[in-house]
Chain A
Amino acid sequence: MNDKHIDMRNVRKIYRFFTLDDVSLALEPGQIMGFVGPNGAGKSTTLRLLMGMNSPDAGQIRVLGHEIPEAQAVAKRDIGFVSAEMRLLPHTTLGWHMEFMKSIYPEWDGGYAATLVKRFNLRPEQNARSLSLGEHVKATLLLALARRPRLLILDEPTTGLDPVARHEVISELMDVLRDESRSILFSSHNTVDVERISDTITFIDRGRIVDSDNKEDFLERWRRIQLQLPDGVELPALPNIVKREVDGQFVTLTTNQFSAGLRSLIGPHVTHVHRMSLEEIFVANVMHHREARAQ
């Protein structure tokens, strides 16, 4: 039996000016996946496909064991979806939304909802139209979290938030992660947020998945190596080098498969080996794949 929370296989979605091509994703129970890509990479399209809001042209999608989009009504009972774009219904208050959700979801946790109202400094009597962007995100997150869903799908929830609101949202998500049976798919182009909460990271660019791995493995695999080559010395052919920058005697190599073997292959000319931040890995990864595709 397939017990993955998300199982997306070879999905294709064609638009007039954009194609999501051969996208496969797998999210195990309890896993937190950061879904990172530049603007227009296909993150939101992928998440909407997972929610059944759009249908794929090819491929298969199963969420919480249910076929999507066919069985989306059943699957969505256990999915909390939050998007930075999402807005609450007009002419209603947050309190009305909380009552509305309570009437739909039997698992609604009123106590937890009240705690989140306080923690996020929201007012239930506040009209939806008067909420700021940050308050909207916190309100939709509250409505999603208080249902205690098994799967959270978050589409750039921290985009456009001020640092304090971002901290509040991320802190709450980290709190949610204590429940190990829940899983989260978190899309963002902010690698700092993703690095804080994710244990698995998938990079997407121009409609294609470019890399996917455990966060620690990403951080271990990628290195920037600086070397100084004496005159007349040339580097041997090296495997797994995604970028080579030369400035006179100084050479900077970026590798996606760093190992002791690679270091010994380079020889004694290495001056520094730098660990890379997730943002640096993301940019190098995307640029490498763009160049590879262009060739």
Chain B
Amino acid sequence: MSVVTRKLIAKELYVNRWFIVGGCVSGVVSVLIAATGKMGFNVGALTWLTTIIATGVMLGLYGIMNERKEHTLQFVLSLPLSIADYVRAKMLGLTACFLVVWLVSSGAALLLVFAKDTVADGIAPYTVLLCVFMLANFTVVLCGSLHAQSEALTSAVIVVTNMGVSIFMFTVAPLPGIEKYLSGPAPVWSSTFWTVLGCELAVLIIAFTLPFFLAARRRDFL
């Protein structure tokens, strides 16, 4: 990895520092709210979901779309790097930004599941699946934003991925291998869990690696 790529990854972490700090604080506060009782759990879960989704969307919009719209992309592309270097730095840099918020929020959520007696430990596999789904969802937003040439297309990707979260929750939770153990006293890592996780990881890997092969070969970046 070139020095410029490394500097650009560090640049993403610096430029998006307030998103990261805000996302982490919001994620932890959401989990604390969720720990206050049944009503609090619902409110906290909603704000926790919103925090992770919004962080991903903001990073995609501000990190890629606005860079193009506000002509800061010209500044970045004038640096000694190729289009492939730029795509690599963008993918790694923005993913690193998201990972900080994701790790803190996901860690806090799992801590709540295992530490709080009022929350059944059986929900842990579903929580893991939801967290990984949102990570995969972010990589799809990132991949779409890097490929989309227009704001409208990027917005469409964001809308579809946001809808994806609701669809995921309503289709995965009722799966027999998941629903059966949700209220259980101990987590059960069923075959359904591993199948869904496998699908999520496949989407994540494809969405994460696709820009390295396609966007990095784009002939026109402005």
Q: Is the CB of A90 within 8 A of B70?
A: yes
Known: A48-B222, A92-B14. A76 touches B71 (CB 8 A): no
Classify chain A's interface size: 20 to 34
Mark contacts of A39-70 with chain B using CB atoms, 8 A cut-off: 1 yes-contact digit, 0 otherwise: 00000000010011111000000000000010
Main secondary structure of the interface of B (DSSP, over half): helix
Q: Is the CB of B221 within 8 A of A91?
A: no
* Residues of chain A lying within 8 A (CB to CB) of residue B219: 54-55, 69
Q: State A210–B16 Cα separation when bound (angstroms).
A: 46
**CB of B121 closer than 8 Å to a CB of A:** no
Known: A73-B80, A73-B81, A74-B80. A85 touches B220 (CB 8 A): no
Choose among A53, A79, A89 the residue that contacts B72 (Cβ–Cβ < 8 A): A89
Q: State A81–B76 Cα separation when bound (angstroms).
A: 11
Q: Is the CB of A86 within 8 A of B78?
A: yes
**CB of B152 closer than 8 Å to a CB of A:** no
Q: Is the CB of A91 within 8 A of B15?
A: yes
**Nearest-Cβ distance from residue B190 to partner chain A, whole angstroms:** 45
**CB of A264 closer than 8 Å to a CB of B:** no
Q: Is the CB of B70 within 8 A of A100?
A: no
Choose among B2, B15, B74, B78 the residue that contacts A90 (Cβ–Cβ < 8 A): B15
* Residues of chain B lying within 8 A (CB to CB) of residue A51: 77-78
**CB of A77 closer than 8 Å to a CB of B:** yes
Q: State A118–B71 Cα separation when bound (angstroms).
A: 26
Q: State A81–B138 Cα separation when bound (angstroms).
A: 33
Mark contacts of A91-106 with chain B using CB atoms, 8 A cut-off: 1 yes-contact digit, 0 otherwise: 1100010001001100
**CB of A72 closer than 8 Å to a CB of B:** yes
**CB of A229 closer than 8 Å to a CB of B:** no
**CB of A191 closer than 8 Å to a CB of B:** no
A103's nearest neighbour on chain B, judged by CB, is: B7
**CB of A87 closer than 8 Å to a CB of B:** yes
Q: Is the CB of A88 within 8 A of B75?
A: yes
Q: Is the CB of A104 within 8 A of B80?
A: yes
Q: Is the CB of A53 within 8 A of B222?
A: yes
Known: A69-B83, A87-B70, A89-B72. A53 touches B11 (CB 8 A): no
Choose among A54, A77, A100 the residue that contacts B222 (Cβ–Cβ < 8 A): A54
**CB of A83 closer than 8 Å to a CB of B:** yes
Q: Is the CB of B77 within 8 A of A53?
A: yes
* Residues of chain A lying within 8 A (CB to CB) of residue B82: 52, 69, 72-73
* Residues of chain B lying within 8 A (CB to CB) of residue A92: 14-15
Q: Is the CB of A55 within 8 A of B220?
A: yes
Known: A53-B77, A53-B222, A54-B220. A88 touches B11 (CB 8 A): no
Mark contacts of B117-146 with chain A using CB atoms, 8 A cut-off: 1 yes-contact digit, 0 otherwise: 000000000000000000000000000000
**CB of B3 closer than 8 Å to a CB of A:** yes
Identify the A interface with B (CB < 8 A). Answer: 48, 51-55, 69, 72-74, 76-77, 79, 81, 83, 85-92, 96, 100, 103-104, 140, 144
Given A87-B72, A87-B74, A91-B16, 12 new contacts (CB under 8 A): A51-B77, A73-B82, A73-B85, A79-B78, A81-B74, A86-B74, A87-B75, A90-B62, A90-B72, A100-B7, A104-B80, A140-B75
27 contacts between A and B (CB under 8 A): A52-B82, A52-B83, A69-B83, A72-B81, A72-B82, A73-B80, A73-B81, A73-B82, A76-B79, A76-B80, A77-B80, A85-B71, A85-B74, A86-B75, A87-B75, A88-B75, A90-B15, A90-B62, A90-B72, A91-B16, A91-B17, A91-B18, A100-B7, A103-B3, A104-B4, A104-B7, A104-B79
Identify the B interface with A (CB < 8 A). Answer: 2-4, 7, 11, 14-18, 62, 66, 70-72, 74-83, 85, 219-222
